[in-house]
């Protein structure tokens, strides 16, 4: 999947494979340590990161990397998804990872469909996720006095996995958004359309929200199926950045590519697909 995409965020790979982002990151780092031309990077907002660190307890500094990883600490291209273009360091003389004698206990599942080249709709398709982990919910509209359902324009209240107090507003649903999609340099295949969802997340508590706000923001069809976001961003409608500090509000635009005949009945947000008690749902009128 990484070879097909070229550049990808860990959370996007995890969402497509239905895996925990920490597991995906661990496997990517392990692969890069074997000498493969793979660079696992990270991106942050320096000012907000320093502010978040200043508000947290001080932990002992991490131990230095073993000698076999020293070759990967050289400066390289900036950005969270950069792939080095120069010669790659030779494999480590000793394998720091134990040999596996049997089949992997948790093999990475194969994606359902083959992704096409970048800048085409087949690369950005969001209507065929490898694994759909979200299921329709049958809960009441209110939990702990907080509204969990509403219409476009409504601000709904919920909590994050770490106890963050969140207020999320579905500002706008642009459907179709083909003109925005093509203006960014992408191409739709015949029989497809694009949808852009604009949301804003406010952190009302004192705990930083440390993940991508629209990581599990999905479209829902009349039969309860969900459509994952496409791994593209629009220059005219900026995407989310990772993390929202206490007291701050962040906005972002999420892009989807769906079959032209698909009907969207609602937009659903959840901190994790299996955490239904904190899910928010906005009804979308035809």
User: Which residue would you say has higher pLDDT here, 109 or 73?
Assistant: 109
Q: What are phi and psi of 46, to 5 degrees?
A: -55, -45
Q: 219: closest CA among 272, 158, 263?
A: 263
Q: What pLDDT, on a 0 to 100 scale, did the predictor assign at position 9?
A: 81
Residue 91 has pLDDT above 70, yes or no: no
**Model pLDDT for residues 43-78, shown as the tens digit of each residue:** 766 777 777 787 766 555 544 444 443 333 333 343
Mean pLDDT of 224-248: 92
77 with 1: CB under 8 angstroms?
no
pLDDT of residue 250: 95
Asked if 256 and 268 touch (Cβ cutoff 8 Å), the reply is: no
The rounded distance, in Å, linking the Cα atoms of 207 and 201 is 14
Q: Which of 18-27, 119-128, 199-208 has the highest mean pLDDT?
A: 199-208
Residue 220 scores a pLDDT above 80:
yes
Q: Where are the alpha helices (DSSP H) in the chain?
A: 2-5, 10-17, 21-32, 46-54, 121-124, 178-183
Decide: 176 and 182 in contact? Cβ < 8 Å. Answer: no
**Span 121-283 CATH architecture:** Sandwich (2.60)
C-alpha distances (whole Å) from 126 to each of 82, 132, 228, 262 are: 23, 11, 5, 12
pTM of this prediction?
0.53
**Average pLDDT value for residue range 26-52:** 75
Phi/psi for 17 (5° steps) reads -95, -10
Q: Over 60: is that where the pLDDT of 200 sits?
A: yes
| Secondary structure of 114-133 in HEC code, one letter for each residue | CCCCCCEHHHHCCCCCCCCC
Q: Please report where in the chains the tokens 């992408």 appear, as a residue.
A: 186
Report whether pLDDT(10) > 90: no
**For 131-164, how does the pLDDT look when each residue is reduced to its tens digit (9 = 90+)?**
443 333 333 344 445 678 999 999 999 999 999 9
pLDDT level of residue 212 (50, 70, 90 thresholds): very high
Q: What is the pLDDT of residue 273?
A: 86
Burial class, 129, CB count within 10 angstroms (exposed 0-12 / middle 13-18 / buried 19+): buried
CA distance 156 to 147: 6
Inter-CA distances, 270 with 49, 70, 201, 241, Å:
24, 39, 12, 17
Three-class secondary structure of residue 193 per DSSP: strand
pLDDT of residue 36: 76
| Residue 258 phi, psi (nearest 5) | -135, 160
| CATH 2.60.40.1240 domain locations along the chain | 121-283
CA distance 133 to 274: 7
């Amino acid at each position: 999947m990484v070879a097909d995409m070229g550049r990808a965020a860990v959370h996007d790979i995890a969402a497509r494979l239905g895996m925990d982002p920490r597991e995906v990151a661990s496997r990517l780092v392990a692969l890069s340590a074997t000498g493969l031309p793979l660079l696992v990077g990270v991106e942050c907002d320096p000012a907000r990161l320093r502010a978040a660190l200043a508000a947290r307890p001080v932990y002992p500094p991490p131990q230095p990397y073993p000698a076999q990883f020293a070759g990967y600490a050289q400066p390289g291209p900036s950005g969270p998804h950069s792939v080095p273009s120069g010669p790659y360091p030779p494999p480590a003389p000793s394998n720091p990872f134990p040999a596996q004698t049997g089949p992997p206990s948790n093999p990475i599942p194969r994606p359902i469909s083959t992704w096409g080249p970048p800048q085409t709709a087949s690369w950005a398709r969001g209507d065929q996720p490898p694994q759909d982990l979200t299921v329709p919910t049958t809960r009441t509209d209110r939990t702990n006095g907080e509204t969990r359902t509403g219409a476009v324009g409504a601000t709904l209240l919920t909590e994050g996995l770490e106890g963050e107090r969140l207020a999320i507003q579905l500002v706008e649903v642009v459907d179709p958004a083909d003109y925005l999609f093509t203006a960014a340099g992408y191409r739709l295949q015949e029989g497809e359309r694009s949808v852009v969802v604009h949301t804003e997340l406010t952190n009302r508590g004192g705990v930083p929200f440390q993940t991508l706000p629209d990581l599990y923001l999905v479209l829902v069809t009349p039969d309860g199926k969900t459509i994952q976001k496409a791994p593209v961003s629009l220059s005219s409608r900026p995407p989310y950045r990772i993390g929202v500090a206490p007291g701050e509000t962040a906005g972002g635009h999420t892009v989807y590519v769906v079959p032209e005949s698909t009907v969207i009945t609602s937009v659903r947000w959840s901190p994790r697909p299996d955490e239904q008690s904190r899910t928010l749902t906005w009804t979308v009128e035809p």
